[in-house]
Homo-oligomer: A and B are copies of this chain.
Amino acid sequence: MSEPKPLPDTRERILDAAERLFMESGYEGTSMRMITGEAEVNLAAVNYHFGSKEALLREVFRRRLSWLNRERLSALNELEEKANGEPLKPSAILEAFFGTLLRMGTDEALGGMTFLRLLGRTLTEPADFIRAFFAGEYAEVVERYKRALFRALPEVPHEEIIWRFHLMLGAMSYAIAGTDALQIVTGCELDMNNEGPDAARQLAERVMPFLLGGLRAPLPPFQVSKEQQSTTEPTKAA
């Protein structure tokens, strides 16, 4: 009924196997027998240690998100302390929010790319209990960062900021989750390996400028149509 004991490694082995398999095959596409098979534990062990398959998925995420939430909050706190009441730079906010996430991908002890890809995929999973779980897990952090962005961009309507926050989350999640899926769609190899710390580092270098460019794009006054504002290509930063 309780878990005060340090426990052997059965719990961790299950969590690791579930993390990898959920990433690879999705929640509904992964059976308990696949998980216990890969973890080399008895089938009943999952229900004994976690109670149910749903609770297992939640625990897979809690184990990682508790670190991520803590780190994201402390990164923002640090920025705000240094700023002495001044609004933050948008780029610094993004660096804190997404940079923290990408740092998980470089550290195998924090789940590495496996967890990053699982996270990106699961955000679009339709199951109700998954959505409800994420809502609770993310609420505080997102609220803090939203507020910071409002202050950093005082002339931009809040609604527009929230939209772009959505879009940045989407681009990042997709970039993380769908690397190989998108490579199939676009038919390009992109010569990056999806595993390991290098992948996360490449992601950071590629994605952050894109996100910043999107966040600072001209506001939509009326319609995006015929006469566009400019045709300049991406400027080479010195």
Give the interface of A toward B (CB within 8 A).
24-26, 28-29, 89-92, 95, 120-121, 123-127, 131-132, 134-135, 138-139, 142-143, 146, 152-153, 155-156, 159-160, 162-175, 177-178, 180-182, 184-188, 190-191, 204-221, 223-225, 228-229, 231-238
CB distance from A92 to the nearest CB of B (A): 8
Q: Quick check: A190 and B28 within 8 Å, CB to CB?
A: no
Of B123, B206, B213, which one neighbours A178 at CB under 8 angstroms?
B123
Question: Which of A24, A177, A220 is the most central at the interface, judged by chain B CB atoms within 10 Å of its CB?
Answer: A220
Copy number in the complex reads 2
Q: Quick check: A205 and B219 within 8 Å, CB to CB?
A: no
Of B132, B167, B204, B205, which one neighbours A210 at CB under 8 angstroms?
B167
Bound CA–CA A201/B163 (angstroms): 14
